[in-house]
Structure 1
Amino acid sequence: MAKIKPVLPSLREKKRYLVFEIVSKEPIKDFSAISKAVWKALLDLSGVLGASKAGIWLLSDKFNKSKQKGLIKVNHKNADLLKAALCTIKQINGIDVIVRSVGLSGILKKAERFV
């Protein structure tokens, strides 16, 4: 049986890690609601094709519930699109929120400094 060769590093999709912060009167503990709001905002702004090209991954294990900060992995060409989509989020679970982007990094460890 033939073994599949790994993709060369120069051919891999380049990624960035975006740190976001949720500003609200009440803390939001449900990460799935945050995930749904981010996906809805991205789909409304760029459509299905743009959202698939952005290739976002919401990292649930990196979400800090006390500071209300989290990490999103995104394609390096679509980081600005994701920032714009985060700005359009006004409510999560009926709670008025403001979603700010805190920082952008190409390395996960550096991005974790912002969280």
Structure 2
Amino acid sequence: MKPLKPSLREKKRYLLVEGKTEDIEKAILEGIGVLGMSKIGLSFIKSNKNSVIKDKKSTIVSINRDSVNFVRASFAIWPEKINVKKISGSIKGLEK
């Protein structure tokens, strides 16, 4: 099987999100719905339990490039506080 051309690959953005992993998933599901959640291609990359703020986790989330605004809007309407600290095109850019 031939590899995909770069123009056909799914372009991802990585978000450094401060909040509980369960809340992140619930906020996106509530804000966008099941169909929207399948379109954004949500995947959790890393979870840091030792965050600067107590009882908060820093998580790296991978989503499609086109759906960044929808995800941020879902976090804004969620009652629990979920902060997007940084957005990058690579994981290495978030770890700096």
TM norm. shorter chain > 0.5: yes
* Range that drifts further, 101-110 or 42-51: 42-51
Whether the aligned pair in 2 keeps the contact of 1:16 and 1:76 (CA below 8 Å) is yes
Whether the aligned pair in 2 keeps the contact of 1:38 and 1:85 (CA below 8 Å) is no
- Equivalent of residue 10 in structure 1, options 1, 7, 10: 7
1:83 aligns with 2:72: yes
Taking the aligned partners of 1:99 and 1:38, their CA distance within structure 2 comes to 7
Normalising by structure 2, we get a TM-score of 0.82
Taking the aligned partners of 1:57 and 1:110, their CA distance within structure 2 comes to 18
Number of equivalenced pairs: 91
Q: 2:91 aligns to what? A: 108
Whether the aligned pair in 2 keeps the contact of 1:19 and 1:101 (CA below 8 Å) is yes
Taking the aligned partners of 2:47 and 2:95, their CA distance within structure 1 comes to 10
Q: 2:54 aligns to what? A: none
Runs (5+) with no aligned partner, structure 1 = 23-33, 91-96
Question: When you count strand as a share of all residues, which structure comes out higher?
Answer: 1
The 5-angstrom pairing of residues 1-115 of structure 1 reads: 4-22=1-19, 34-59=20-45, 62-67=46-51, 68-90=57-79, 97-113=80-96
Runs (5+) with no aligned partner, structure 2 = 52-56
Taking the aligned partners of 1:5 and 1:102, their CA distance within structure 2 comes to 37
Deviation at residue 20 of structure 1 after TM alignment: 0.9
3-state DSSP class of the match of 1:58? strand
Deviation at residue 39 of structure 1 after TM alignment: 2.1
Taking the aligned partners of 2:34 and 2:87, their CA distance within structure 1 comes to 24
